[in-house]
Amino acid sequence: MTHALDGELAALATRLRASTVRVYDERRSGSGSGIVWSAEGTVMTNAHVVRGTRARLEWEDGRSAHAEVVRRDDERDLAALCFEPSAGLVPVAVRSSSELAPGELVVAVGNPFGLTGALTAGMGQRCNARWVVADVRLAPGNSGGPLADGAGRVVGINSMVAGGLALAVPSDAVVAFLHGLRGRRARHGFANVA
């Protein structure tokens, strides 16, 4: 049974890593994580990861791109980045955070302490309109990365740690945030994926 579970977690990590990028704010040192939200070139991350208007994205396979911050909400700790998409982008599957039940398996993928695509697992504790709370271990560099259910569907964007528990912005809040972006994307320029 342990061997089968190990294989399932490894496959889950591989799927989520394909949609997780490292995000570098072009104005300062340090980095966080981001999620390829759509094949049209939208990456979601935390507002505290990117303070400026531009960022550099790096994929696990070595690809990189420059992105523009097209929307941010410091209070919700969300930022939408857009870049010129290329073939092979793998957007995440999203699940409504309101469907997450306490005790469900959740996993976080990110880039803590320079470790690319690190995975940590735990259980969802509770979810409300403000936060998805889980007992997964987060560290600097996990911010902006996915919190996903056992099927790999994103239920939140990891934001911070409080009282030893991970706090993620609920996927429902991310979807609502992105509705305000419709129609604005065409007015922004993009850099090619290298």
Query: 2: part of which helix (H) or strand (E)?
Result: helix 2-18
Q: Indicate whether 40 and 103 sit together in one domain.
A: no
Q: Indicate whether 62 and 6 sit together in one domain.
A: yes
- Write down the pTM of the prediction: 0.89
pLDDT in tens, 96-137: 999 999 999 999 999 888 788 889 999 999 999 999 999 999
**Which tokens in the block code for residue 92?**
């995440």
Q: Indicate whether 36 and 50 sit together in one domain.
A: yes
Query: Can you give the CATH number for the domain in which 18 is found?
Result: 2.40.10.10
Supply the residues annotated as catalytic.
48, 77, 143
User: 193 pLDDT exceeds 70?
Assistant: no
User: 91 pLDDT exceeds 90?
Assistant: yes
> How far is the C-alpha of 74 from the C-alpha of 111, rounded, in Å?
22
Question: What residues make up the domain containing 29?
Answer: 2-91
